Amino acid sequence: MTPEERIATLREKIAYHSDKYYNQDNPEITDYEFDMMMRELKQLEKDNPSLVTADSPTQKVGGKAKRTAGVLVRHNVPMLSLQDVFSKEEVTEFVEQMREQLDEPEFVVEYKIDGLSMALRYENGALVLAETRGDGINFGEDVTANALAIPDVKKKLKDAPEYLEIRGEVYMKNAAFEAVNEKQELLGKKPFANPRNCAAGTLRQLDASVTKERGLSLFIFNIQQVRGMEFRTHTEGYEYLKKQGIHVIDDYKVCRTADEVWAVIEAIGERRGELAYDIDGAVVKVNSYADREKLGATSKVPRWAVAYKYPPEEKESRLLDIELSVGRTGRITPTAIFEPVRLCGTSVSRATLHNQDFIDELDIGIGDTVVVYKSGEIIPKIKEVRREKRPADWKRFVIPDTCPACGAKTERERDTADIKCTSPNCPAQLERHIINFVGRDAMDIKGFGTVYIEELVRMGYIKDVADIYLLHEHRDALIEQGVIGKEKNTDKLLDAIEKSKKNDVYKLLTGLGIPNVGKAAAKAIMKHFQTMERLEKATVEDLVAVNDIGEISAQCIHGFFSEEGNRAMIARLRACGVNMETAEREVTDSVLSGKTVVVTGTLPTLGRREAQELIEQYGGKVSGSVSKKTDYVLAGENAGSKLTKAQELGIPVLSEEELREMLDR
């Protein structure tokens, strides 16, 4: 391959992975793999300067500025990236270059936090704006509302200059990240890949209450601009910020020689696995602001700092077992159990194997000698298998076709690599199933929160969804034990459970948690079959005859009702008095008949569900996303990106008042 061809290939790959990292918060490769591609491209362009182009990834900073969480704002100071270095020799070269150009410079060595960059602007001590890095040069994104929900962000400074702009890294502590992913699993949602992705996605979304709930943190690592006060050095600025109660980078060190700098970098590397958060390197900065001013910056990076990236530490170990666990969504996750090895300061003996595809790709089996490392996210991973060391009786591991928790049949989920247990009564996923069953789109039992569900399952009151309708038999015990609260709270929940028996049967079908059967599909199915009894007897051919129900969904539904345990559960629900028939509702012919409407924002009097029911009552269909097929967008306050897209596509936008006027005609 010629240098020109290799450069083109690398640029295409880097552009793809940059978009996954910066704009989608969903990287597919490690930071180290990305850094190595970028380094190769830089070297090729250095060797072939005639091939350098303005749109090369080496000439750009960061990702695109997006409008997900707020409006675009212009940077007062560019939020540049740092030049990466990967060896002691490169660190030494940087230090010596600085010493040649400056008079006895000092260097500050500090952690490089793995998060999302954000700048804060203060005017006379009051926070006026928080912005993301965006494109790094011109525009970032206004995330002030979300920033105010982060405890480390100070709204007011005590001893403040006329203007102060500081830059830091929004990140998640590992404990906060684990708590968020546990909740994602509980709600049946996709877990985040790593703390950095979770922090980035959280800062950019629209609901500040979600930001507060997820527990983001912030480290400040630079003073960008100041008026009305003067700082001579980076560390002097840090001392001022600390007096204001601002959280700056932990445990920074001042050095004067290359050997001192390297010693600190090594010390950070040895203890990074013991930190409560992820770091992906160490930053070396010139301390003096006057020296920084003298050195300046290129179009991409400041000349007065570099970021040292730690290489992945790798060790061999022997695979002792592969443990299968069933998550609250029914997903079966294989975990490698290997002889303990020490990596990045901690002992590790477990690493996820993700799914059967990953196992097949590694070609791994029990007894194999494996290469273990910790990625930039400080998560133990298996890199490869030493096939030359495998035992004579070796067999590649295959996830069985029965659930390790309950023995039910397992199935591979469509369009994914996930293998899931098919039983909704599997004890490993019971809590998640109950949460779905009582949720708004299903039986809508108000006040039946996650904490109550966890406690009722733990104490044995609920073993499947039918047990919900037998809780009244345990009323006195529940009150005495304080499971739900005092008498008033207990009776309130029991009343809500009783009222839910009268729900339309499509809500019950939605709550059963059958794969590929959500609210819309459940409505279509029950409109066709009318009663649960007829649905239970339906063949795959009968089910495929329903509008919008395909072969795979039909197989899932038929398989569910073929299970004896599921039929018994339905019988118990019927015996408890839960409605099993469709409630006929007259659909009014109107201007909305056959039209697709998207609802977005907060409406003056209608809740989201009430708006949907009103639209459906008048013959319309509600969609969750705006496309060319959308006929109207019903918009309230804080409508966000859906409103923007509707305007771009020229789709009519209605207020609640305008919708009501249309329906009254």
Residue 386 DSSP SS3? coil
Gyration radius (Cα) of the chain, Å: 29
Token readout for 543 is 């089910």
Rounded to an integer, what distance in angstroms lies between the CA atom of residue 468 and that of residue 438? 9
Token readout for 37 is 């591609």
Rounded to an integer, what distance in angstroms lies between the CA atom of residue 408 and that of residue 606? 43
Rounded to an integer, what distance in angstroms lies between the CA atom of residue 17 and that of residue 32? 12
CB 117 within 8 A of CB 82: no
Of 39, 38, 19, the residue nearest 28 (C-alpha): 19
Rounded to an integer, what distance in angstroms lies between the CA atom of residue 154 and that of residue 458? 41
Given the residues 60, 112, 374, 381, the one annotated as active site = 112
Residue 398 DSSP SS3? coil
H helices present in 355-472, as ranges: 356-362, 430-438, 450-458
Q: Is the dihedral of CA 413, 419, 424, 429 positive or negative?
A: negative
For Cα atoms 28, 29, 34, give the angle at the middle one, nearest 5 degrees.
130
Distance of CA 497 to the CA centre of its chain: 33
Rounded to an integer, what distance in angstroms lies between the CA atom of residue 120 and that of residue 131? 7
DSSP state of 514: -
Token readout for 291 is 């020296």
112 is catalytic: yes
> Phi and psi of 5, rounded to 5°?
-65, -40
DSSP per-residue string spanning 182-245: HHHHHTTPPPPSSHHHHHHHHHHSS-HHHHHHHT-EEEEEEEEEEES---SBHHHHHHHHHHTT
Rounded to an integer, what distance in angstroms lies between the CA atom of residue 505 and that of residue 578? 9
Rounded to an integer, what distance in angstroms lies between the CA atom of residue 127 and that of residue 148? 9
CB 18 within 8 A of CB 63: yes
Strand partners, 165: 121, 225
Rounded to an integer, what distance in angstroms lies between the CA atom of residue 553 and that of residue 549? 6
Sheet holding 116-123, edge to edge: 126-132, 116-123, 163-171, 217-227
CB 539 within 8 A of CB 555: no
CB 137 within 8 A of CB 314: no
CB 664 within 8 A of CB 625: no
Query: 209: buried, middle or exposed (CB in 10 Å: 19+, 13-18, 0-12)?
Result: exposed
Query: 318: buried, middle or exposed (CB in 10 Å: 19+, 13-18, 0-12)?
Result: middle
Q: Could you list the active site residues?
A: 112
